[in-house]
Structure 1
Amino acid sequence: MSTPTQVYDSLLALLTPTASWGRHRSHSEVSDGLKRIRRIVLTEGIPEPGRPPLRPRIWKLMLKIDSLNADEYLRWVTMGPSAVSTKIKNDTFRTLATDTQFKGKVKEDMLIRLLEAFVWKNHVGSERDGLPFTYVQGMNVLSAPFLFTLPSQLEAFACFSTFIEQSCPLYVQPTLVGVHKGLKLLDQCLKIVDPELFDHLRSKNLSAELYAFPSVLTLCACTPPLEEVLQLWDFLLAFGVHLNILCVIAQLLLLRQDIMDSPSPMKLLRTFPPLNARPIIGVTVALVKDIPEDLYRELVAHPFSS
């Protein structure tokens, strides 16, 4: 096992200089570098805090953010309140409300500014092809890790916009079609990997729609602590948002005996235990091999393809 310093130095070497990614390196070098970074994220995790911090650079790399447009962002910001401004403000003050570390760094006006800018960006660009976007439930929580992690609001906006529009667009449609599909897939996967646990939950009339909706909607960002959420998101950004469904199942399996022993499992599942990213990632990776190929294809596609 490498020390955190060794892991940090390995990642820093792969990321330096960031500007050379895709510009001065061959395709095979870029591909090999990304594979090595993903392997480290999977096996060791990103050592934080570090100087300079590596998570912002790795997140931008995974999202393929290699340029920023400050003028465009300022344009959206200066457009002021949007038609869904009241809806945004009804949610932003509740965002990670019990996390003092988050509240100390990310003020409510930063959340509002980013979300309003996102709405304006997609309203003005609504004539283009593709899915429409506006503000929907859960976007406030999905934006929170980006505002906390990235060093500037401009970078947070670029990462959040790209993430929503490319990684999980069906999760933020007005009907939350991707979320509901994900919940159905969660039931299907759980039935395969642990039929006894699935049957026990069903005997209590519990489907994923009832106990896993917040965790699927927010990619587990609703479950503290934030530092563990960020580690889980390192994994999801590196390997795919679809794996969050298996991450939720992993949490169930880590809680399995308590669930099986409980006459009222919903009391346990109403609030999931504090997130512990490394065991969850370990169980998730082990679960992948148990999912049939056709079901796994559905899992991979569900955040962005209907």
Structure 2
Amino acid sequence: MSESTAAATAHSFDKILNQTRVGSKSRSSGEVDDPTKKLRRLILVEGIPSSVDPTLRPRIWKILLRVSDLPAETFIEYVARGPCEVREKIRNDTFRTLATDRGFKERVREDMLVRLLDAFVWRNHDKQESQQLGFTYVQGMNVLAAPFLYTMPSELEAFFCFSKFIEESCPLYVQPTLEGVHRGLKLLDRCLKIVDPELFAHLRSKNLSAEIYAFPSVLTLCACTPPLNQVLQLWDFLLAFGVHLNVLCVIAQLLLMRDDVMKSSSPMRLLRTFPDLDAVPVIGIAVTLVRDLPAELSSLLCCSRPVVKIL
């Protein structure tokens, strides 16, 4: 994208954002949804030009997650409680979060991750009697928190966006049994068998199911695959259209390395570490794949915001 095109796109985003007031009492839900649909379409067609305006992504993520209330006193109260009951488990993971990404390490300190995750556990400790699903810290949550701390201007905004994301977008992914992750992996196998039966058969001939080679990618919504700037671009798409589309994004990565996988007698050597993420072709393939799936499967992936309808 040229500099002039990026600037024009940033202006288009800004215009839509000015129309979208999630927390405004003067706007009906229908009035809010219309500009939000425009926002999703622009994300899909143009991508967010965050290099031109670094404020765009955090503003857009808050709208997509419907986060408007940011009570600082609530977050401060959670932090003031100190270590939660699973602090040791949190610390076992936080030090290695995106450990090879210098830009992330320069912007997000380990104590920020620990604080956010402690506060999240305290938040749900207080809410456990009033909600169907309980939440505590589970492995992988540190990686899911990382993009929010990197993207948001403050820990306060990162905390409330992360909490809304976990509790509403992917609650089953972070249950102690990781039920949502295992469902996603089974769905990945079902989808791959339909969109590329030859590749599916080759992997199965080597006793490779998605549970074996795709677990980290499904668990972290591809945040485990560098570089971070591409992860953020992929998450723009997932937050706009539904995190379960990540299943197709993982398949897209498989298809991009298909020739090498098909030639390999030991494909797990290739699949142990996916190639660096390239968000644009991955999203493009995922959008194409969702059109090729039976309605039953595409409805499971797209939730209430089908990408096909946007197009």
TM surpasses 0.5:
yes
Aligned to 1:38: 40
Aligned to 1:239: 241
Distance 2:184 2:104 in 1: 28
Shift of 1:296: 2.5
Tell me the SS of whatever aligns to 2:292. Answer: coil
Shift of 1:250: 0.5
Aligned in 2, Cα 1:258/1:48: closer, same or farther, shift over 3 Å?
same
1:288 corresponds, among 287, 290, 302, to: 290
Alignment of 1:86-165 (within 5 A): 86-165=88-167
Shift of 1:27: 3.8
- Checking the alignment, whether the CA contact within 8 Å between 1:21 and 1:30 is kept in structure 2 is no
Distance 1:35 1:123 in 2: 35
Distance 1:148 1:100 in 2: 12
Shift of 1:208: 0.3
Q: Does 1:260 align with 2:262?
A: yes
Distance 2:101 2:296 in 1: 40
Name the TM-score, length of structure 2 as normaliser. Answer: 0.93
Tell me the SS of whatever aligns to 2:230. Answer: helix
1:4 corresponds, among 3, 6, 9, to: 6
Aligned to 1:71: 73
Shift of 1:151: 0.2
Shift of 1:17: 6.5
RMSD: 1.5
Cα deviations across residues 7-54 of structure 1 (Å, max 9, x unaligned)? 100001111266576434444432221111101100110001233520
Aligned in 2, Cα 1:273/1:52: closer, same or farther, shift over 3 Å?
closer
Distance 1:153 1:239 in 2: 25
2:52 corresponds, among 50, 53, 60, to: 50
Distance 2:241 2:230 in 1: 17
- Checking the alignment, whether the CA contact within 8 Å between 2:140 and 2:219 is kept in structure 1 is yes
Aligned in 2, Cα 1:25/1:128: closer, same or farther, shift over 3 Å?
closer
Tell me the SS of whatever aligns to 2:69. Answer: coil
2:281 corresponds, among 271, 279, 282, to: 279
Distance 2:157 2:264 in 1: 45
Structure 2 residue identity aligned to 1:53: T
Aligned in 2, Cα 1:113/1:242: closer, same or farther, shift over 3 Å?
same
Shift of 1:297: 3.0
Aligned to 1:304: none
1:169 corresponds, among 147, 168, 171, to: 171
In the alignment of these two chains, the number of paired residues is 301
Shift of 1:69: 0.9
Tell me the SS of whatever aligns to 1:219. Answer: coil
User: Identity over aligned residues, as a percent?
Assistant: 65
Distance 2:244 2:43 in 1: 17
Structure 2 residue identity aligned to 1:277: A
Distance 1:243 1:199 in 2: 22
Structure 2 residue identity aligned to 1:137: Q
Shift of 1:83: 1.1
Distance 1:196 1:77 in 2: 52
Alignment of 1:186-205 (within 5 A): 186-205=188-207
Shift of 1:111: 0.1
1:219 corresponds, among 221, 241, 247, to: 221
Which region of structure 1 is more displaced relative to structure 2, 123-132 or 81-90?
A: 123-132
Distance 1:103 1:258 in 2: 33
Tell me the SS of whatever aligns to 1:56. Answer: helix
Aligned in 2, Cα 1:230/1:239: closer, same or farther, shift over 3 Å?
same
- Checking the alignment, whether the CA contact within 8 Å between 2:22 and 2:66 is kept in structure 1 is no
Alignment of 1:8-19 (within 5 A): 8-16=10-18, 19=21
Tell me the SS of whatever aligns to 1:61. Answer: helix
Cα deviations across residues 57-103 of structure 1 (Å, max 9, x unaligned)? 00000000111111111111111111100000000000000000000
Tell me the SS of whatever aligns to 1:16. Answer: helix
Unaligned runs of 5+ in 2: 304-311
Tell me the SS of whatever aligns to 1:289. Answer: helix
Distance 2:53 2:5 in 1: 16
